[in-house]
Amino acid sequence: MKKGTIAAIATAMSNSGIGIVRISGDEAFEIIEKIFFTRKKEKIKIKESHVIHYGFIMDGEDTIDEVLVMVMKGPRSYTGEDTIEINCHGGVYVVKKVLETVIKNGARPAEPGEFTKRAFLNGKMDLSQAEAVIDVIESKNEYALKSSVSQLKGSMHRKIDEMRGEILYHTAFIETALDDPEHISVDGYGQVLLDKVDDLLISLKKLIDSADNGRMLKEGIRTVIVGKPNAGKSSLMNLLVGEERAIVTDIAGTTRDILEENVQFEGVSLNIVDTAGIRKTEDVVEKIGVGKAISHANDADLVIYVVDASRKLDENDYEIMDLIGDKRAIVLVNKSDLESVVEKEEIDKRLRKPMIEISAKEETGIRELEETLKKMFFNGEISFNDEVYITNIRHKAALMDARESLRKVKESIENQMPEDFYSIDLMDAYESLGSITGETIGEDLVNEIFSKFCMGK
Amino acid sequence: MKYSANSVWENKDEYDVAVIGAGHAGCEAALASARLGMRTIMFTVSVDSIALMPCNPNIGGSSKGHLVKEVDALGGEMGKVIDRTFIQSKMLNKSKGPAVHSLRAQADKADYTREMRKVLEEQKNLDIRQAEVTEILTEDCMPLEGRELEKRKIVGVQTYSGCIYRCRAVILCTGTYLKARCIYGEISNETGPNGLQAANYLTDCLKELGIRMYRFKTGTPARIDRNSIDFEKMEEQFGDEKIVPFSFTTNPADIQKEQVSCWLTYTNEKTHEIIRKNLHRSPLFSGMIEGTGPRYCPSIEDKVVKFADKNRHQVFIEPEGLHTNEMYIGGMSSSLPEDVQYEMYRSVPGLEHAKIVRNAYAIEYDCIDARQLYPTLEFKEIGGLFSAGQFNGSSGYEEAAAQGLIAGINAALKLKGREQITIDRSEGYIGVLIDDLVTKESHEPYRMMTSRAEYRLLLRQDNADQRLTKKGYEVGLISEDRYQKLLEKEHLMEEEIQRLETTNVGTSQKVQEVLVQYGSTPLNSGTTLAELIRRPELSYEALEPIDKMRNKALSEDIVEQVNINIKYDGYIKRQKKQVEQFKKLEKKKIPDNINYDDVKSLRIEAVQKLNELRPGSIGQASRISGVSPADISVLLVYLEQYRNK
């Protein structure tokens, strides 16, 4: 069931002075009363309209941000409904956290164009604007749905489909038994279901975690690490990802295939691809890897060129520099812990790209890299797709709804409620998960009943 | 080719409503119409087949029991008649939640038919006429405000003999009789059920009126002579010790009586082998049957093929009545050839020497795509033409009765110039049934199921009166006396719930003793009686020793309501909230004359579907497959704009 109170980030999704999270609907005040605290850490009661409160947004014990909260009682607001605007600090990460807290406390992510739609339906807009509104809703929704589904990683899609399949099967079994009690007995099914629900809750937790670190989505800035063999690309990759993902050895040419990982920098999603070192080689397998590395570098939004400080430039470096000359790139001079012999001036002259000295081994220089990346994103050098964000927040909200429903199933089983109560929440979970993959319920349950179970008469 | 009689003459009797068909839909339609003061005539191909039960000998069952109770709550007849004619009664799913408790009664078929016929014959304003209607007479008309789709209106009907009956509304309740064909093996008879005469001409007239038709099929098992059955090899199935009536007007004390038993046996590998060996002789597999059959009541050959891993299927042996030896073989409907039927039935334990009285057969018939109807069951394009029952693509006696009642009420209301009624999905199973029929595309006979009801916790069989009797009263089918009784019951219920919610209990020894007695955790601090009732192991009845203020005169059904409302309070509140959301969209009406091609930005598929169905509300539109939530948003904005123009 769709909740009536919606929320979204109203400002552009970039690091700016302030960011605004807007909440609209019947429960807007109730929600803000739950998460907003004064300087003395006291809750407030919203009474007056068109006032501004100063305080903090808290998620349980955690303080999310210091904010100003604007109160607008309907109909004196943009949408005509009770509206809250939270002015928070403009960091993308902060704004996103505030929005998540709002959603956790009862709002749902707004559909594209939904504030405007509500404004119109509540008579806050004149007729001439209506058609424009319709266009916005339709085009944005089509786009959002398409991108929502297409951004979902294949493996995530499969996982969600699998979970839905299980939920549907168990619901159908219960329902068949209820519809045809003389043929099928559902007595004692609670125990079977309890185990299943526990499994599902574990899977859901994993999915929610992966939504948290953005791994549910394919999208992100395509970032490719290139460099000649053994320049330290894989070490860098591991450092950025924060886990041993690539095999690091002293042997040149260890990485033969392409490794891909998603990394969050201040909430910005980077898809980092580690590639085989680029060199002339006779090894057939390695050759394929090199070919792939070149083609990845060609498609990349951003190239990170790793140079080995301890070795002089060679023909492989020159080839790489030719390759990335007209691309957006950062040069990382790795192994700054060793004696530097590489011709830095030569690189600068040829590429004219930002250059940072790092040591993947000693883990130095990473902060500078982050700073440089951030500057590139937020100064608009690299376009940032805020659709990814929204999608992720929606997915997460849907996963949390599904989890909530399954917890209710568990509760019902533990409280020894009769079996027919389970299916109510099971189907809610089914619906929530379906909203991620863009599927609606329709006749699913009835079809499952007929196809999997033999009814009598 | 459309039938045309040799000579035509006009009957001078005056009628308002003509009901075509006297099955379970026709009976309810005719009674409702006549009771609401309409001069009503009911046509049937055979007066002896009024309220016939051509298939299973029972009424009710999961979700169907709900329908019967709702029909009764609105002022229909089915519940009262079965209360007088049942021979065994059982509340199904009693160990489950109250939402899925479902009453089912075995009927004495002959008694049921006779009783219903008596009611019809005694009904003022109602004439019964044995005749086959071959034509619906209509006239062009100018559409009225709000009825822009209407192109024609009803002026009468004409029978096979050429006789014209003038009337202003027609209710089609032709069941499985239109171009009916009964089939088993290579044998095919052009008859309705039980060898009754089929109605072969009406379809062509309906098609000429532009009505889209489907061809569906269903089936029934053999009837076997009781004397040839060895019951020793079967499990006996008894009725409930305490019998609960269907009708809210029946006094439970009046219907406690001796019941007959049903019997349970099973098919086995040998049965399945016989079936598999002869599959090629089945008219279904050979392609002789074109109609679409229902998935929920498959023939035994369907079950054997589809669920090949099951090595046995249940077979219920049910009496057809007290004054007949025929037994219904539930679970083994079939259209296999006669010789295979003998072999197959006789492979079942207890049926080794079975003598078949009537063969199992499949039946094919014409019905309509019900999406041509408003939720009032009136055709959108033909004013005054209503339809109900199996003709609308449903199956089952109860589904038919429910639609018949609504069609009968609405035909009468229309002619009286009053607003017609609809039941929505949050008010009753009748609402779910009709909404599904008129909204969703279906390719098989539709059967009611509890899983189809989104708000089933609110749509219980025990509270059908609270949900619908007020509507029945407003329509005029429920007496003042009955309505007042309901109000009194509701008042007592609410008062008692209020009292329990506010009555505190302490941690006295008496209280703890009662808790321990029921295996419930003792209290640490005081609480309310209602809180205690919410514990799964406790109930209203259990708390009697510690509830001194209790009014012991409260009737059993009030106590039941109090128990349910307190115990499931949390769930009930949740569903009520969902209903609020649902109602918001139902209330947003879409005008008949909206042109979806004008709505910019609707997807092409949505435009097609919306044009085809012409939904009456945004809610109904949202349930059409192929109409997305984004389309609904677009539509909402468009409607607002349209309204302001």
In a domain, A229, yes or no: yes
Q: Where do we find the tokens 């440089």?
A: A372
Which residues of chain A neighbour B603 with C-beta distances below 8 Å?
138
Tell whether the model's pLDDT for residue A245 goes beyond 50.
no
Distance CA B232, CA B628 (A): 58
pLDDT above 70 covers a percentage of chain A that reads 76
Q: Name the average pLDDT for chain B.
A: 94
Q: How many domains does chain A have?
A: 3
pLDDT at res. B351: 98
Burial B474-497 (b: 16+ CB within 10 A, else e): ebbbbeeebbeebeebbebbeebb
Using DSSP, state whether A402 is helix, strand or coil: helix
Identify the residue whose tokens are 């999310």.
Answer: A64
Reported residue count of chain B is 645
Distance CA A290, CA A275 (A): 8
Contact A117 B637 (CB under 8 A): yes
Q: Are residues A450 and B571, on separate chains, in Cβ contact within 8 Å?
A: no
Instruction: Please name every residue paired with A357 in a beta bridge, in sequence order, or none if there are none.
Output: A333
Q: Please give, rounded to a whole number of angstroms, the shortest distance from the CA of A433 to a CA of chain B.
A: 16
pLDDT of residue A380: 46
On the question of pLDDT at A268 being above 70, the answer is no
A368 and A273 inside one domain: yes
Q: Does A149 touch chain B (CB under 8 A)?
A: no
Two tokens, residue A119: 């404004």
Any idea what DSSP says for residue B320?
Answer: S
pLDDT at residue number A384: 41
Lowest mean pLDDT among A144-148, B153-157, B344-348: A144-148
The CATH code of the domain that includes A431 is 1.20.120.430
Residues in A touching B450 (Cβ below 8 Å):
175, 178-179, 420
Listed residues A331, A351, A383: the one ending a domain: A383
Mean pLDDT lowest among A123-132, A446-455, B69-78: A123-132
Nearest alpha-carbon partner for B89 in B326, B279, B247, B299: B247
CA distance B384 to A145: 44
Out of A214-223, A274-283, B279-288, B539-548, pick the least confident.
Answer: A214-223
pLDDT digits (tens, 9 = 90+) for B46-66: 999 999 999 999 999 999 999
Cα end-to-end distance, chain B, whole Å:
48
Q: Which of A1, A18, A17, A20 is nearest to A9 (CA)?
A: A20
Computed over every residue of chain A, the mean pLDDT equals 80
What does the pLDDT look like over B52-110, one tens digit per residue? 999 999 999 999 999 999 999 999 999 999 999 999 999 999 999 999 999 999 999 99
B504 versus A387: the higher-pLDDT residue is B504
pLDDT computed for residue B413 by the predictor: 98
One domain for residues A188 and A238: no
Choose one of A328, A353, A383: the last residue of a domain. Answer: A383
A141/B629 Cβ within 8 A: yes
Residue B436 confidence (pLDDT) above 50: yes
Tell me whether residue A132 is in a domain: no
**Token reading at A69:** 């909260």
Q: What pLDDT is attached to residue A297?
A: 76
Last residue in a domain, options A330, A359, A383: A383
In sequence order, the β-bridge partners of residue A233 are none
More confident residue, A66 or A237: A66
B638 CB neighbours in chain A (<8 A) are 130, 134
pLDDT at A269: 61
Mutation site, B100, B602, B609, interface A, largest A CB count within 10 A = B100
Within this chain, do residues A205 and A353 fall inside the same structural domain, yes or no?
Answer: no
Mean pLDDT (whole number) for B205-227: 95
Q: In whole angstroms, what is the distance from residue A23 CA to residue A435 CA?
A: 21
Asked if residue A15 has pLDDT above 80, the reply is: no
Residue A386 confidence (pLDDT) above 60: no
Question: Residues A171, A43: one domain?
Answer: no
The pLDDT of residue A124 is above 80: no
Q: How confident is the model at residue A383 (pLDDT cuts 50, 70, 90)?
A: very low
* Pick among B296, B305, B639 to test the A interface (most A CBs inside 10 A): B296
Do residue A311 and residue A409 come from a single domain? Answer: no
Which segment, A11-15, A384-388, B487-491, B510-514, is predicted with the most confidence on average?
Answer: B487-491
The pLDDT of A406-431, averaged and rounded, is: 92
Tell me the chain A residues in contact with residue B451 when contact means C-beta distances shorter than 8 Å: 175, 178-179, 423, 445-446, 449
Which residues does A154 contact at the CB level (< 8 Å), separation at least 6?
Answer: none
What is the CB-side half-sphere exposure of residue A290 using CA atoms within 13 A? 20
Residue A146 in domain: no
Within an 8 Å CB–CB cutoff, is residue B99 touching chain A?
Answer: yes
Residue B97 and residue A455: Cβ atoms within 8 Å?
no
Banded pLDDT at B28 (limits 50, 70, 90):
very high
Q: Cβ contact (<8 Å) for B95 and A187?
A: yes
Delineate the domains of chain B, giving CATH numbers in brackets.
16-175+371-475 (3.50.50.60), 223-361 (2.40.30.260), 480-574 (1.10.10.1800), 588-644 (1.10.150.570)
pLDDT at B247 over 50: yes
- Say if the Cβ atoms of A175 and B451 lie within 8 Å: yes
A170 and A71 fall within a common domain: no
Is residue A111, in this structure, part of any structural domain at all? Answer: yes
Residue owning tokens 């999270």: A21
A120 and A197 both lie in a single domain? no
Distance CA A258, CA A296 (A): 9
Regarding whether A276 and A373 lie in a shared domain, the answer is yes
**What are the φ and ψ backbone dihedral angles of B463, each rounded to 5 degrees?**
-115, 20
- Boundaries of domain holding A93: 6-125
Beta carbons of B62 and A175 less than 8 Å apart: no
Pair A110, A196 in one domain: no
Q: SS3 for B204? A: helix
Is the domain of A167 the same as that of A295?
no
Across A170-179, A188-197, A347-356, B129-138, the highest mean pLDDT is recorded for: B129-138
Average pLDDT over residues B566-591: 91
Q: Is A136 on the interface with B (CB under 8 A)?
A: no
Interface touch B581/A4, C-beta < 8 Å: yes
- B110 with B324: CB under 8 angstroms? yes
For residue A382, what pLDDT is reported?
44
Work out how many CB contacts closer than 8 A connect A with B. 135
Question: Above 60 in pLDDT, residue B337?
Answer: yes
The arithmetic mean of pLDDT across residues A11-21, rounded, is: 76
Query: Is A130 a member of any domain?
Result: no
Decide which of A355 and B119 is more confident: B119
User: Same domain, yes or no, for A366 and A237?
Assistant: yes
Chain B nearest CA to A87, separation (Å): 29
Q: What is the pTM of this model?
A: 0.81
pLDDT digits (tens, 9 = 90+) for B560-572: 999 999 999 999 9
Domain identity same for A271 and A361: yes
| Confidence class for position A62, pLDDT limits 50, 70, 90 | confident
The pLDDT of B621-626, averaged and rounded, is: 90
More confident residue, A271 or B556: B556
The residues near A343 (Cβ < 8 Å, ≥ 6 apart) are: A312, A313
CA distance A18 to chain B (A): 31
Choosing among A420, A428, A443, A444, which should be mutated to test the B contact, i.e. which has the most B CBs within 10 A? Answer: A420
Domain containing A325 — which CATH number?
A: 3.40.50.300
Torsion sign across C-alpha atoms B407, B412, B415, B420: negative
Do the Cβ atoms of B97 and A420 come within 8 Å?
A: yes
CA distance B249 to B242: 17
- Asked whether residue B246 carries a pLDDT value surpassing 90, the answer given is yes
Cross-chain Cβ contact A121/B637 below 8 Å: yes
What ipTM score was computed for the predicted complex, to two decimals? 0.88
B576-to-A420, B548, B588, B619 alpha-carbon distances in Å = 17, 32, 19, 17
Q: Which residues of A touch B331 (CB under 8 A)?
A: 456-457
Q: CA A156 to CA A217: how far, in whole Å? A: 8
Q: Which of B237, B296, B637, B638 to mutate to test the interface with A (most CBs of A within 10 A)?
A: B637
- Residue pointed to by tokens 């001439």: A128
Which two structure tokens, joined as six digits, stand for B231? 């019951």
Mean pLDDT of B362-390: 96
* Tokens, residue A164: 């839905």
**Any chain A CB within 8 A of the CB of B316?**
yes
What CATH number is associated with residue A60? Answer: 3.30.1360.120
The pLDDT of residue A244 is above 60? no
The tens digit of pLDDT for each residue in B521-533 reads 999 999 999 999 9
Q: Work out the average pLDDT over A48-76.
A: 92
> A244 or B612: whose pLDDT is higher?
B612
What residues of B are in contact with residue A168 (Cβ under 8 Å)? none
- Give domain status of residue A363, yes or no: yes
Tell me how long chain A is.
457
**pLDDT level of residue A14 (50, 70, 90 thresholds):** low
For residue A83, pLDDT beyond 90: yes
pLDDT(A2) > 70: no
For chain B, give the percent of residues with pLDDT over 90. 83
Question: Which of A2-6, A257-261, B575-579: highest mean pLDDT?
Answer: B575-579
CB contact, 8 Å: B601 with chain A?
yes
Specify if A134 maps to a domain. Answer: no
How big is the CA angle at B449 (ends B445 and B450), to the nearest 5 degrees? 165
Interface test with B, best of A133, A134, A176, A408 (most B CBs within 10 A): A134
Mean pLDDT of A370-389: 59
Contacts of B96 in chain A (CB under 8 A): 178, 181, 186, 418-420
With respect to residue A145, please indicate whether it lies within any of the assigned structural domains. no
Place of tokens 């021979």: B87
Q: Output the pLDDT for position A144.
A: 53
Note which residues in 378-417 of chain A have CB less than 8 A from chain B.
415-417
Q: Which of A120, A445, A457 sits opposite B331 (nearest CB)?
A: A457
